[in-house]
Amino acid sequence: MSNPCSICHEIPQCPVTLNGYPKEGTMDINKPKKCKYSQSNPLCLLCVRDYMTFQKKNNNSGFKCFSNCCWITLRGWETYGELGREPDDVAEPTLWRFMDSSGETVCRKCKKECNTVYDLGLHIKNECPERMVMCNICNTLVIYKNYKEHYNTCKIYCSECNEELITGDSKDINISNHNETGLKWIKLHKHAVKINGNFIVKTQRKPFIVKQHYCKERIIASCRGCNNFININNINDHLMCAISFSDHR
């Protein structure tokens, strides 16, 4: 690999190509094509991942390729690498096997030396203690070596009253069972997480299994006296709304 990475301007480590849509012609979102420029000018695997994270933080759905010939839509692991591969595969299995040891084989993050480019790709994906992994509670990326500590302190909260929710494992819990108070386990997509001291509401595709609770902010009725909503927290404020009145005319 003689051409430098267009992001870091160094020899590409675990070189990857981009998958996008040519600016000319029709676009089929389900049929991305290989960016021809990236085929002759591949990028570092880690550089591409960092660049994608940067675009997401700026609320961008994609970016122009580095020759401005394609539009690269952010599609997770399908944004780059060999077309048709499985999620558990490394990004460029055919290319990296072909390269053998002819390329960068030392991990830039943890400095471990691998035998081949393909082995380095496996290391970055599955073994590197500095790799980023997704927390399935707060949906944020965490360095793997810190993940256990993060997971033990990461909580989810009610999206309405911010009460901490008790979570369970669907394998061990019968969600139809009630406890002595009549509460049961439920599936919940919408929840809140605490980031830097602030509660942020999120919605997760895969639901959490959580114990029901009495939500003090949940709207339970609309007051006929003042037309405002009633919840457990403000129910006493509506006592005056319940005073009887004369119906004499």
120 and 50 within one domain: yes
Whether 6 is in a domain gets the answer no
| Cα 60 from chain centroid (whole Å) | 15
Statement to judge: residues 197 and 230 lie in one domain: no
Number of domains in the chain: 3
For residue 178, the model assigns a pLDDT of 60
Which residues constitute the domain of residue 245?
219-249
Share of the chain above pLDDT 90, in %: 57
Sign of CA dihedral 148, 152, 153, 154: positive
Query: According to the model, what pLDDT value does residue 238 have?
Result: 87
Instruction: Calculate what percentage of the chain has a pLDDT beyond 70.
Output: 91
Backbone angles phi and psi of 103, in degrees to 5: 165, -175
**Domain-located, residue 175:** yes
Alpha carbon separation from 22 to 68, 94, 137, 202, 220 (Å, rounded): 9, 24, 37, 34, 53
Q: Is the pLDDT of residue 148 over 90?
A: no
Q: What is the pLDDT of residue 177?
A: 61
Same domain, 167 and 240: no
Highest mean pLDDT among 24-33, 63-72, 130-139: 63-72
Judgement on whether residues 152 and 223 belong to the same structural domain of the protein: no
Give the per-residue pLDDT at 195.
81
Cross-strand pairs, 198 = 195
Q: At what angle do helices 117-126 and 45-57 cross, to 10 degrees?
A: 40
Domain boundary, last residue among 107, 130, 153: 130
Q: Give this prediction's pTM.
A: 0.68
What pLDDT score was predicted for residue 100? Answer: 95
* Exposed e or buried b per residue across 13-39, where buried means at least 16 C-beta atoms within 10 angstroms of its C-beta: bbbbbbbbbeeeeeeeeeebeebebbe
C-alpha separations of 130 from 64, 123, 151, 172, 177 in Å? 29, 11, 16, 32, 41
Q: Which of 90-99, 116-125, 133-142 has the lowest mean pLDDT?
A: 133-142
C-alpha–C-alpha distance, residues 72 and 21, integer Å: 6
The pLDDT of 134-146, averaged and rounded, is: 83
115 within some domain: yes
pLDDT at 179 over 70: no
Residue 110 resides in a domain:
yes
Beta-strand pair 70-73/15-16: unpaired
* Paired tokens of 93: 């299995």
Cα 239 from Cα 94, distance rounded (Å): 73
203 and 241: one domain? no
Alpha-helical runs (H) found in the chain: 36-40, 45-57, 93-99, 117-126, 147-153
- Are 4 and 111 in contact by the 8 Å Cβ rule? The answer is no
Same domain, 122 and 160: no
pLDDT reading at 135 higher than 90 = no
- Domain stop point among 87, 108, 130: 130
Assess whether 110 and 57 both reside in one domain.
yes
| 210: pLDDT strictly greater than 80 | yes
Q: How confident is the model at residue 68 (pLDDT cuts 50, 70, 90)?
A: very high
Amino acid, res. 29: I
| Amino acid identity for residue 248 in this structure | H
